[in-house]
Structure 1
Amino acid sequence: MKDNPNKAIAIWLYFGAFAIFLQILLGGITRLSGSGLSITEWKPLMGFLPPLNENDWQLSFDKYKQIAQFHVVNAHFSLEDYKSIYFWEWLHRNWARFIGLAFIFPFLYFVIKRKMSLRLLFPISILFLLGLLQAVIGWLMVQSGLNDTDISVSHIRLAIHFGAAVILLCYTLWLAFTLSLDHIKMRHRLRFSTLNITILGILFIQLIYGAFMAGTRAALAAPTWPDMNGFIIPPDLQNHPLNLVFLTGNLLAIQFIHRALAYIVCILVLVLYVRSVSWKINSLLFYIRLFPLLLVGIQVVSGITALLKSIGPHYSTFALFHQSTGILLTISLLLLLFLNLKKN
């Protein structure tokens, strides 16, 4: 980014993207640790403070005791147990606040110092709107579990929250790529942007089904591989009308679709790589084209491992690693697409 007038803005966006990536991982930890419903109120401004004394802690715990998750899942909890799950939800929310401040204050600085061109104001405004929308979606997701019947949040809302985070991350990175990589002259390009876009689209749907898997613990419905409880296609899928409610709510259907999409993505990434081998390309694309191939391999292996370990004590570790490699695979394909679409 030498002599690039937008260098500082690009660095700011890359930092923001990294913070969003960490937030996605924190969201995964919050979900896997069962912490997401521990804070039953949404206070965007004053909520950054945790309970400051024992009375405040007890008051917060008493509010948690009013929802079904406590009565059905965590009735044995002491106050200390509650504090342990409170921490992850509190950290997840406060990291979101930090991201907001990390975007707002540098933005104001760039505007006041006139270091940001007018053409960037609109795309940056869209970025802020996406961030605000994500916060609202997050609270609506939490609300779905704050009642006396549900022991967890709606897996549909969880998937929307996760999908919105992925879109926010990709949008932020695309802006950063535009400001930091657009000056690079590509001697040769891999002219298969349609395939690249197709893979990204299918991968996004697969990530959504990954959120369904996490939200419903669908791995427990068939913790076997390569078969699903002894079947290639579970009988439930063959004998049931394949409507939207079934395909997004039945545990075996969710897992089957997640697996099938994983195989499709893996094959298409391999096709992408094979087609790129015949091209004489510059060093940047030569190395970047390897990342999707490497990451999709890791993603498949980590997914199988997480599935087989779903009834074991280390499931959360494997599941979180699987989630992180899925995001990294998305980023690698996004970067490859940008370099293929950019104008010399």
Structure 2
Amino acid sequence: MDQPVSQTRSSTSHAGIRRWLWIVAALVFVMVIVGGATRLTGSGLSITEWKPITGALPPLSEAAWAAEFEKYRASPQYQLLNAGMALAEFKFIYWWEWGHRQLGRFIGLVYLAGFLVVALRRLLPWRRTLTLFGMGLLLGLQGAIGWIMVASGLEPGMVAVAPVKLTLHLTFAGLFFASVIAFATSLTPPRRIEPRRGRAVAWLLLALLFLQIALGGLVAGARAGFTLNTWPLMDGALVPPASMLFAQNPFWENFVDNVALVQFNHRLGAYLLLAVALWHMLWLRRVMPGSGAAKRATAISGLVLAQSALGIVTLLLVVPLWAGLAHQALGFTVLAMGVVHLTRTEGAAVGSRQ
């Protein structure tokens, strides 16, 4: 019997929606890498104003460049860290930050255009459309957090953004990225229906991935990767003494600003994540050999192992640009795989229910 026209139209619409969402996810992935380069090149505070509309235009004349440079020269970062910087050097860091902000604007436009098509043409049930609207609000919030982060670095005495706000910026980027991938995956009918095994561990894996991304944000914000560049020992010990890990007052500041504790926590997070990923893989390969879940768990374990090795290399080489960016990119690749695995484990494919 012929397929109903409405169902054919729905399947076609879902294919288009999936393509749109995967494009958004790819753009966010690139955005994360560009953001990492902006941070590692010290470019994030080069633009001292937030102008969502007019800020899209860069300086177009020498006078405009001089005015922009003068604003930066009034910032604490210039006065305390980059005093004497030439205009050509300023242009280098300016273009990194400008490109980062333009990519953010472009992602917002691509997402808005796609959402309007879905909403106006009623391509999805209203609950799903409302979810997309909420994801759009999350994207807008991420942009606002980005400016709050930059503003923290323009406070008197600051030469970089506050680690906690950088961590929030990175974590919310991960949340939006994960939501886009989960939605796109849920719109893709699975090749075969499998028992829902390992759901709790899939959730645990995703939670650990987000925790590790947050801990990595603190490492980046505190520049903890530029110290204690040995492995597996830290300052000659597997576990540094409490006098090193908790040297600051008040106590809670150690978890944000103490480079020893920040780096130690990131190491512990990596060990825990790797252990859970390997256990999950071995269990699924035993109880569901050859299944899609077992294959996904195997892929996740391989990615986590590669990410751990890359993290060690990045630390030992004292965070060269290429290694820092590769470490961040691979981290979000693992996150994407973790989201796909959980979404499939939950059996949330719309195509299987329609």
Distance 1:198 1:285, change over 3 A: closer
For 2:95, the equivalent position in structure 1 comes to: 87
In the alignment, residue 338 of structure 2 is paired with which amino acid?
L
For 1:201, the equivalent position in structure 2 comes to: 207
For 2:193, the equivalent position in structure 1 comes to: 186
In the alignment, residue 336 of structure 2 is paired with which amino acid?
I
Q: Distance in 2 between matches of 1:157 and 1:264?
A: 25
For 1:211, the equivalent position in structure 2 comes to: 217
Deviations 1:258-289 (A, max 9, x none): 00110111111110111011134566435322
Give the CA deviation at 1:242: 9.2
For 2:159, the equivalent position in structure 1 comes to: 151
> Aligned to 1:289, what secondary structure does the other structure show?
helix
In the alignment, residue 195 of structure 1 is paired with which amino acid?
V
In the alignment, residue 178 of structure 1 is paired with which amino acid?
S
For 2:335, the equivalent position in structure 1 comes to: 330
Give the CA deviation at 1:243: 3.6
Q: Distance in 1 between matches of 2:245 and 2:42?
A: 33
Deviations 1:110-159 (A, max 9, x none): 33333343232210110111011001100000000113310001011000
**Map of 1:138-287 to 2, 5 A cutoff?**
138-181=146-189, 184-189=191-196, 191-235=197-241, 236-237=243-244, 243-280=251-288, 284-287=292-295
Q: Distance in 2 between matches of 1:261 and 1:251?
A: 15
Distance 1:261 1:68, change over 3 A: same
Deviations 1:4-54 (A, max 9, x none): 542211211111111111111111111011000000010101111100000
Distance 1:119 1:147, change over 3 A: closer
Q: Is the 8 A contact 1:188 1:282 kept in 2?
A: no
Q: Is the 8 A contact 1:187 1:281 kept in 2?
A: no
Q: Distance in 2 between matches of 1:116 and 1:210?
A: 37
The reply on whether 1:35 has 2:40 as its aligned counterpart is no
Distance 1:238 1:302, change over 3 A: closer
Q: 1:319 aligns with which of 316, 324, 348?
A: 324
In the alignment, residue 63 of structure 1 is paired with which amino acid?
K
Q: 1:53 aligns with which of 61, 70, 95?
A: 61
Unaligned ranges ≥5, structure 1: none
Unaligned ranges ≥5, structure 2: 1-7
In the alignment, residue 211 of structure 2 is paired with which amino acid?
I
For 1:341, the equivalent position in structure 2 comes to: 346
TM-score (norm 2): 0.90
Distance 1:168 1:239, change over 3 A: closer
Q: Is the 8 A contact 2:28 2:107 kept in 1?
A: yes
In the alignment, residue 230 of structure 1 is paired with which amino acid?
G
Q: Is the 8 A contact 1:4 1:180 kept in 2?
A: no
Give the CA deviation at 1:94: 0.3
CA RMSD of aligned residues (A): 2.0
Q: Distance in 1 between matches of 2:246 and 2:119?
A: 60
Give the CA deviation at 1:296: 0.8
Give the CA deviation at 1:64: 0.2
Distance 1:239 1:15, change over 3 A: closer
The range that moved more, 210-219 or 106-115, is 106-115
Identity of aligned residues (%): 32
In the alignment, residue 186 of structure 1 is paired with which amino acid?
I
Q: Distance in 2 between matches of 1:185 and 1:104?
A: 33
Distance 1:226 1:127, change over 3 A: same
Deviations 1:282-321 (A, max 9, x none): 66435322221111111111100110111xxx61211111
Number of aligned residue pairs: 339
Q: Distance in 1 between matches of 2:130 and 2:119?
A: 13
After superposing on structure 2, the runs of 4+ consecutive aligned residues of structure 1 that deviate more than 4 Å are 237-242
Distance 1:238 1:88, change over 3 A: closer
Q: Distance in 1 between matches of 2:186 and 2:199?
A: 17
Give the CA deviation at 1:186: 1.7
Q: Distance in 1 between matches of 2:288 and 2:217?
A: 39
Q: Distance in 1 between matches of 2:199 and 2:59?
A: 51
Q: Distance in 2 between matches of 1:37 and 1:325?
A: 26
Q: Distance in 2 between matches of 1:342 and 1:205?
A: 24
In the alignment, residue 192 of structure 2 is paired with which amino acid?
K
The reply on whether 1:301 has 2:309 as its aligned counterpart is yes
The reply on whether 1:25 has 2:30 as its aligned counterpart is no
